[in-house]
Chains A and B, each alone.
Chain A
Amino acid sequence: MEFFERFAIPHPSFAIYASMVAAGLTLIAIVAGLTYFKKWGYLWREWITTVDHKRIGIMYLISALMMLFRGGVDAIMMRAQLAVPDNTLLDSQHYNEIFTTHGVVMILFMAMPFIIFFMNFVVPLQIGARDVAFPRLNALSFWLFFMGAMLFNISFMVGGSPDAGWTSYFPLADGESVGSHYYMIAIQIAGIGTLMTGINFITTILKMRAPGMTLMKMPMFTWASLITSVIIVFAFPVLTVALAMGTMDLLFGTQFFTLENGGMAMLWANLFWVWGHPEVYILILPAFGIYSEIISTSARRNLYGYKSMVGSMVLISLLSFVVWAHHFFTMGQGAFANSIFSITTMAIAVPTGVKIFNWLLTLWKGKIEFTTPMLYSILFIPLFTLGGVTGVMLAMSAADYQYHNTMFLVAHFHNVIIPGVVFAMLAGLTFYWPKMFGFMLNEKIGKWTAWLLSIGFLLAFMPMYVTGLDGQARRMYTYSESTGFGPLNMVSFVGAAIMAVGFVLIVYNIYYSVRYASRDISADPWDARTLEWATHTPVPEYNFAITPEVASSEALWDVKKKGHVLFKGDYEKIHMPNNSGVPFIMSCIFFAWGFSLVFSLWIPAIITTIGIFICMTLRSFEKDHGHYISVKEIEDTESEMRGA
């Protein structure tokens, strides 16, 4: 019996039991559905074993959307709990678990896969490549991320969720439940996947660009992806090491971060933020890239100040590594250290300001069309500026003594992440949807969504600036009526509810558009400027039948306006990678490995470790040279695409 007690939830509640039932039913429905419609084989051949960057991208997208709703439910529960003083909807423990999982899920399992979806789907098309540099590694990246996310997500049903905040500061994370084990190991598995994505995309972008595309002729999203990948490669190893040290503390009794024997709790904080601060730029730079594409497309103009856009991104990426200590200005590191980090942090405002001004100047003399993606981009500029300037306020290290750990901070980072990253993802989703699925999302519902999210966002987060200055600390599960925080928290709850309606509208929009949207659209519905719109919709397996030759960062625009010829020469047979089940199987073993470690099941842990190495060994002896698509096949596909 004792064996099974380990897997029990330490703090059960009705909500948890209800979601267990819901998860169980969903799983049964999926299995039954796949069996009934005989889709197992299709799923395996076309999706699970795929190495096609477009399909992997779409799988990232589906995971990210799922996680958006998981993290969103957490958010609503938090705001509901705080809506009135002395609320008893949630107890302290449950609230602590919810804000911890909300943070981890939203940053690592929602925003990260969402931007990696864009990188996967867009970058190879935008640079005229057939696929990423290492397609099979790409599949492994996805499945590792996915299994890491799933491992993290079962925590609240098996053994208990982490409850020490998404920053998981020691010694608080040194708890008795397995929650912190889940945190360390699930993020580790997903993080390895992300690190490989970074390596993959640096190689892809540097080595696989179409002829003529010099670095300074790359579209802005590709530039953003390149710089992001570089940040990933420098930042994620720090996370890997920190998590490995934390795991050893928790499982094997080492004392890196403990209270006794020289363990340094603040070492964790340093390592965490050496990764964690660049991490926010990993999210925001691709978002900037997406906005650049959309704004210049919808303003019907080239991006103003291309070179300064690139330069500012490079500068942001460098600065992102030298500001981490602003996350603990209040650690007592002295006036000198605080001054250094205060100045470096504020310096980020300069390149970020450059980007805002360049977008505004891109609108100048343009011919602005208010499409849904453009609406998000327009709303982004003022809302993100608001978040940016409060960031400068927080960077004043002395004043931060008053903002630190308060709702002011919570308001600030949501104010940059929601209009900055989430709006970019929704804008990009709407923008690239026709390229993925061959029909547009409904514009009217899309605009409603954008407005609801913006108004909900303002109502939800502006009051937090005020309550923060009034002394409301973050992560408090309740407060007394005498504090006077009640009314503004109620406003926040209303705002959060409006945002929830907005997110539900996205689902409705997908449903509505699947049913009613016209399938008769061109491959270039937005009259766009870059290469990804130069191929057919749906995009054939090989992306471009003939490798395009480009002369500027706006290759397609050159075709439209300058009579540039993209595709020269005849069809040749195309080399493509073979599908493989190994990435999926290996990731499943990783999942079992992680689960074994979470619960200290040593024998399964050893067996699965061996399993992982067997997979790697098999791969290194495998002779798989891929396959060729013959000229005949290409001709058939191309004529069919043109005909349709």
Chain B
Amino acid sequence: MKLKLALFAVMMSILTVLTGCEQLTVLDPKGPQAERLASDIMLTMLMMAGIVIAVFVWLVIMLVKYRASKQPADYEPPHIEGNPWVEGILVGIPVLIVAFLSFVSVQSNYIVESAPQGYEEKEPLVVYASSSDWKWHFSYPEEGIETVNYLYIPTDRPLEFRLYSHGPITSFWIPQLGGQKYAMNAHVTKLHLAADVEGDYMGRNANFSGEGFAENKFDVTAMNQEEFDDWVKEVKATAEPITEEKFEKLLEPGHLGRMTFTGTHLEFSPAPEHHHEGDKYEDKDEHKHSEEHHSASDKESSDHDKHMNHDE
């Protein structure tokens, strides 16, 4: 009886997870990358629920059927070594499941690491997202603006985030747009996202980074391209320029609200790019980018030599 109760509790918890899907952030995707991940998660969850239920049922049958109290007192269980057929089947089924999931997993890896599906044709908006104790700095080199702790993004464009950290390793995560990725001090990692739907989303650092970690989050607002352009114009008209001095101050540990600047800190404190092989190939791509971006990347490469020295 107690066992059945426990099993019931387990089943209920699985059901809670399954039925609660619509509301859970990760399973409520608003972009193609997050959609792929959510469908992977649902697929595995259903398959795994099948396996768990099969094991439960098998266990219960064994326990009910072969419990000592049910059997005659003189019953002597037989000696059974094992059977290659039985064991072969029991290895075969997991092998098939794992092979299928491996296939899905590899496919998903290549999907989330490349430009979002349906957005391949469009020029990505490059945003440098860098973390410091315990803030996020978003630089838009193309637009020549920078924000702290909030992110405005256009909906109809792929987004290319270039992540790095001014301090401990952090992890950049907007669950409804896609999975997280580390932002590290020594080099830049890239994360491809896109938003299909306008709206406000939660973004945060998911990797523990010390005392102020819990509040290390940011707001994401997805809007259409016109609204985004208007916002950029407004920022350029109203915001103060970011200076080296100001930026140094921002880097000091602590929490800050939303802030907006013209210019980006990349001009005087470039991102640690070109530090690893992957970026060599990127250089070629950058020539294809728009005029505005060109000027930004030129400045980076001029600083690049200086930066190289203490890498080796």
Binding site for B on A (CB under 8 A): 92-93, 96, 163-165, 169, 171-172, 259-266, 299-302, 304-308, 328, 330-332, 334-336, 338-339, 342-343, 346-347, 349-350, 353-354, 356-358, 360-361, 363-370, 378-379, 381-383, 385-386, 389-390, 392-393, 395-402, 404-406, 451, 454-455, 458, 462-463, 465-466, 469-471, 473-479
Query: Can you list 20 A-B contacts with CB-CB less than 8 angstroms, sorted by A residue number?
Result: A265-B185, A302-B79, A305-B81, A306-B82, A332-B189, A334-B278, A339-B109, A365-B80, A366-B77, A368-B63, A378-B63, A385-B52, A396-B108, A397-B108, A399-B105, A465-B17, A466-B17, A469-B17, A473-B206, A475-B208
B241 in the interface (beta carbon within 8 A): no
Let me know if B189 and A171 touch, CB within 8 A.
no
CA distance A465 to B14 in the complex (A): 10
Say yes or no: B67 contacts A476, CB within 8 Å.
Answer: no
Which residues on A sit within 8 Å (CB–CB) of B205? 473
Q: How far is the CB of A254 from chain B (nearest CB, A)?
A: 16
Contact with A along B168-196 (1 / 0, CB 8 A): 11010101001111101110011000000
- Pick the contact of B90 from A300, A342, A353, A379 — CB < 8 Å? A353
CB proximity of A454 to chain B, nearest CB, Å: 6
Assess whether A401 is in contact with B37, with CB atoms less than 8 Å apart.
yes
Q: How far is the CA of A421 from the CA of B80 in the complex (A)?
A: 28
Q: Which residues of A contact B38 (CB under 8 A)?
A: 402
Assuming A172-B169, A332-B190, is B208 touching A458 (CB within 8 A)?
A: no
Give min CB distance, A280 to chain B, whole Å.
19
Please indicate the chain B residues that have their CB under 8 angstroms from the CB of A308 in the complex.
82, 87, 91
Q: Which of B67, B105, B106, B214 contacts A477 (CB 8 A)?
A: B214
Q: Hey, which chain B residues are within 8 Å of A92, CB to CB?
A: 211-214
Cα distance A291–B59 when bound, in Å?
Answer: 15
Tell me the nearest residue of chain B to A338, going by C-beta: B109
> In the complex the two chains form, what is the Cα distance from A469 to B21 in whole Å?
9
Nearest chain B residue, comparing its CB with the CB of A175: B210
Residues of B within 8 A of A401 (CB): 37, 112, 178-181
**Contact for B106 among A301, A342, A451, CB less than 8 A:** A342
For A261, the chain B residues whose CB sits under 8 A away are 310
- Select B105's contact among A165, A361, A396, A406, beta carbons within 8 Å: A396
Known contacts A308-B87, A382-B7, A399-B41; is A471 also within 8 Å of B26 by CB?
yes
Q: Are B67 and A343 in contact (CB under 8 A)?
A: no
Instruction: Say yes or no for B6: interface residue by CB 8 A criterion.
Output: yes
The answer on a CB contact under 8 Å between A304 and B189 is no
A169 with B181: CB separation less than 8 A: no
User: Per-position contact with A for B50-80: 1 when CB-CB < 8 Å, else 0?
Assistant: 0110011011001100111001000111111
When A330-B171, A330-B181, A455-B6 are in contact, do A398 and B202 touch as well, CB less than 8 Å? Answer: no
Q: Choose from B112, B169, B213 the contact partner of A475 (Cβ within 8 Å).
A: B213
- Judge whether B13 and A368 touch: CB under 8 Å: no
Instruction: Specify the chain B residue showing the minimal Cβ separation from A361.
Output: B86
> How many residue pairs, one in A and one in B, have C-beta atoms under 8 Å apart?
292
- What residue of chain B has the Cβ atom nearest to residue A363's Cβ? B62
Complex contact B167–A171 (CB within 8 A): yes
Q: Assess whether B259 is interfacial by the CB under 8 Å rule.
A: no
Beyond A171-B168, A346-B101, is A262–B311 a contact (Cβ under 8 Å)?
yes
Q: A171 CB to closest chain B CB, in angstroms?
A: 5
User: Which residues of A sit under 8 angstroms from B171, Cβ to Cβ?
Assistant: 330, 404-405
Interface residues on B, range: 35 or more
In the complex, whether B224 has a CB less than 8 A from a CB of chain A is: no
Within 8 A of A (CB), among B88-126: 90-91, 93-95, 97-98, 101-102, 104-106, 108-113
Q: Are B94 and A398 in contact (CB under 8 A)?
A: no
Is B243 in the interface zone, CB < 8 Å from A? no
Asked if B179 and A385 make an inter-chain contact with CB atoms under 8 angstroms apart, the answer reads no
For A357, list chain B residues within 8 Å (CB): 87, 90
Residues from chain B with a CB closer than 8 A to the CB of A330 are 171, 179-182
| Residues in chain B near residue A266, CB distance under 8 A | 169, 184, 186
Alpha-carbon distance between A401 and B16 when the two chains are bound, in angstroms: 23
Within 8 A of A (CB), among B197-219: 202, 204-214
User: Could you tell me the distance between the alpha carbons of A478 and B211 in the complex, rounded to whole angstroms?
Assistant: 11
Known: A353-B90, A401-B37. 8 other contacts (CB 8 A): A300-B76, A301-B80, A302-B81, A343-B98, A343-B106, A354-B87, A401-B112, A477-B214
Bound Cα distance from A263 to B208, whole angstroms:
20
Flag if A370 contacts B77 (CB, 8 Å).
Answer: no
**Docked CA distance A48–B178 (Å):** 57
Structural contact, A398 and B59, CB atoms closer than 8 A: no
Q: Which residues of B contact A306 (CB under 8 A)?
A: 81-82
Residue in A260, A332, A350 whose beta carbon sits within 8 Å of that of B181 in the complex: A332
A360 and B24 contact, CB distance less than 8 A: no
Residue of A nearest to B39 (CB): A399
Q: Judge whether B40 is part of the interface by a CB distance below 8 angstroms.
A: yes
Query: Does B25 touch A at the CB level, under 8 Å?
Result: yes
* A354 / chain B contacts, CB cutoff of 8 Å: 87, 90-91, 94
Contacts A349-B94, A405-B207 given; indicate if A367 touches B310 (C-beta within 8 A): no
Q: Are B78 and A301 in contact (CB under 8 A)?
A: yes
Q: Taking the complex as formed, is B3 at the interface, i.e. its CB lies under 8 A from any CB of chain A?
A: yes
B55 near A396 with CB under 8 A, answer no
Query: In the complex, what's the smallest C-beta–C-beta distance from A286 to chain B, in angstroms?
Result: 22
Q: Is the C-beta of B256 less than 8 angstroms from some C-beta in chain A?
A: no
| Beta-carbon contact of B185 and A470 below 8 Å | no
Per a CB cutoff under 8 Å, which of B93, B98, B169 touches A265? B169
> Known: A305-B87, A473-B204. Contact between A335 and B113, CB under 8 A?
yes
- A482: nearest residue on chain B (CB-CB)? B202
Q: Which residues of B contact A334 (CB under 8 A)?
A: 113, 278
Q: How far is the CA of A396 from the CA of B48 in the complex (A)?
A: 13
A350-B98, A402-B26, A402-B179 given; A364·B66 CB < 8 A: yes
Q: Which of B21-45 contact A (CB under 8 A)?
A: 23-27, 34, 36-38, 40-41, 44-45
